[in-house]
Amino acid sequence: MAKVDILLATYNGSKYVSDQIESILAQTYQDWVLLIHDDGSKDDTVALLESYENKYPDKIELIRDGVCTGGAKQNFSHLLGFSKSDYIMFCDQDDIWLPQKIERTLSAMRSAETENPGVSILVHSDLTVVDVNLNVLTESMFKGQRLNARLQRLDQLLMCNSITGCTVMFNRELLKRSPAIPDEAIMHDWWLGCVTLNSSGIVVFVDEPLIMYRQHQENTIGYKHFGFVFLITKILDIKVLIKNFNLAVRQAKMLDNEFGLGYLTLLKIRCFVQKLVRSGL
């Protein structure tokens, strides 16, 4: 069986992290190791993690290095340095994994590897959005936000991310190409998706919710339903559009520096974003 490293980044997550770990323990696929790095929590998170590590020493490892990275993106990047398995998954502290999440994701990964041997592959899935008490808000985040689940062009993905990190699995071929997430990356999931496509890799979408994506006040990035209010807010908030544009170009430039993306692609990105800004979308 293929070993899977699950990377769990935590910070003040004592309210929900036990639910998340229990959902991982209940997975139908069991050949995994949970690697956890806490980013300086001030609540009972570390004590909870230590209790799980003591109970499941062969499955759960809490990394005690005293490093505070300063954010989820940086924490996940730090965790990548401890991964040794062929397959890696990101895990948020406040969600619930459905029982077949690892099994279904790994099946999609292996099918893609069979058809595309030796290339970078990233697999992601749909999500069911829930509230704090796990009441369903929308069965499909992709339908609720009208996301394009099958983006396979780099210039599109650079400007419109449809990959949610807590659903992701990627292979070691991709990790070899990006062993760390740079500061210029907007988020870890977005960056790895772009690296995958830039290296002629494959992004695979599992058209099935495999996670309960919990929404609460502490979410770093949350769900926004696509509707009239959402659309009008985006149109009117020009400052946010400009900020997002600048962040996207910064990320694209970093890809260019690291991997030779090329001026033509950057030019396409700029033109694409300018159209978005002019249209207010």
Instruction: State which of 206, 225, 244 marks the end of a domain.
Output: 225
Amino acid identity, residue 134? L
CA distances from 245 to 221, 249, 257 (A): 18, 6, 18
Q: Are residues 127 and 28 in the same domain?
A: yes
CA distance 237 to 218: 23
CB 156 within 8 A of CB 149: no
Closest to 124 (Cα-Cα) out of 190, 180, 69: 190
Q: Are residues 8 and 44 in the same domain?
A: yes
Q: Are residues 85 and 178 in the same domain?
A: yes
Task: Please tell me what DSSP assigns to residue 246.
Answer: H
Closest to 159 (Cα-Cα) out of 233, 270, 279, 280: 270
Q: Are residues 147 and 275 in the same domain?
A: no
Amino acid identity, residue 224? K
**For position 28, which CATH number holds?**
3.90.550.10
Q: Are residues 17 and 131 in the same domain?
A: yes
Beta bridge partners of 10: 38
Extract the tokens encoding 123.
């697999």
Q: Are residues 238 and 196 in the same domain?
A: no
pLDDT score, position 270 = 65
DSSP-derived pairing of the beta strands 121-130 and 169-171: antiparallel
Write out pLDDT tens, residues 84-123: 999 999 999 999 999 999 999 999 999 999 999 999 999 9
- Mean residue pLDDT of the chain comes to 87
Q: Given pLDDT bands bounded at 50, 70 and 90, which one contains residue 275?
A: low
- For residue 188, the enclosing domain spans 4-225
Q: Are residues 69 and 108 in the same domain?
A: yes
Q: Are residues 202 and 140 in the same domain?
A: yes
CA distance 79 to 85: 13
pLDDT score, position 235 = 45
CA distance 182 to 82: 17
Q: Are residues 173 and 266 in the same domain?
A: no
Task: Please tell me what DSSP assigns to residue 59.
Answer: T
The number of distinct structural domains making up the chain is 2
Residue 262: HSE in the Cβ half-sphere, 13 Å Cα cutoff: 7
Averaged pLDDT, 168-196: 94
Length of the chain: 281
Q: Are residues 21 and 78 in the same domain?
A: yes
Measured on CA atoms in the order 6, 30, 193, 227, is the torsion positive or negative?
Answer: negative
CA distance 116 to 139: 31
Extract the tokens encoding 181.
């997430």
Please list, in sequence order, all residues whose beta carbon lies within 8 angstroms of the beta carbon of residue 158, skipping any fewer than 6 positions away: 194, 248, 251, 252, 255, 269
Q: Are residues 211 and 235 in the same domain?
A: no
Write out pLDDT tens, residues 26-72: 999 999 999 999 999 999 999 999 999 999 999 999 999 999 999 99
Q: Are residues 166 and 77 in the same domain?
A: yes
CA distance 269 to 47: 46
